[in-house]
Amino acid sequence: MPDWNEHNIRPSMEVYTSDGQKLGHIAKAYEDSFLVNKGYFFPANRYIPYSAIASVENDRVQLTMSADEAKIKGWEKRPDYEDHLGDPTQLFYDRGHGVHDPFDEENPNKT
């Protein structure tokens, strides 16, 4: 499985779930995630981590999860590890987004 990042995607690419549902299009790519604007599927903007990408082909990003799984993920806020060094709730959130955490001794390479 490739390590996807902001160099593999671009704004306006369409995002689909593993069960073929269209989530929307990419509004912006960041170092740790990409933004899918709110719309019919999402009631709020979502910052989807690159670890959720199964494949990228032409103008289509395919996720590893179903539409139902994507809806329940807590991705309304972009991961921001550097600004929350002492906040255990934020560290837990960031780890779920695959953001590097130097304090995670059990899994320093986030594998």
List the domain boundaries for the chain. 1-76, 79-111
Q: What is 1-76's CATH topology?
A: SH3 type barrels. (2.30.30)
Q: What is the DSSP letter of 59?
A: T
pLDDT in tens, the chain (111 residues): 568 888 999 999 999 999 999 888 999 998 888 999 876 767 778 899 888 999 999 999 999 999 889 888 878 877 665 555 555 565 555 555 555 555 556 655 554
Q: Measure Cα distances from 23 to 1, 7, 73, 100 in Å.
A: 22, 21, 13, 26
Q: Measure Cα distances from 66 to 23, 41, 82, 103 in Å.
A: 10, 12, 30, 31
Q: Rounded to whole angstroms, how far apart are CA atoms 22 and 108?
A: 34
Q: Rounded to whole angstroms, how far apart are CA atoms 17 and 67?
A: 6
| pLDDT value for 65 | 93
| pLDDT value for 54 | 95
Please check whether residue 35 is in contact with residue 27, taking contact to mean a CB–CB distance below 8 angstroms: yes
Please check whether residue 36 is in contact with residue 84, taking contact to mean a CB–CB distance below 8 angstroms: no
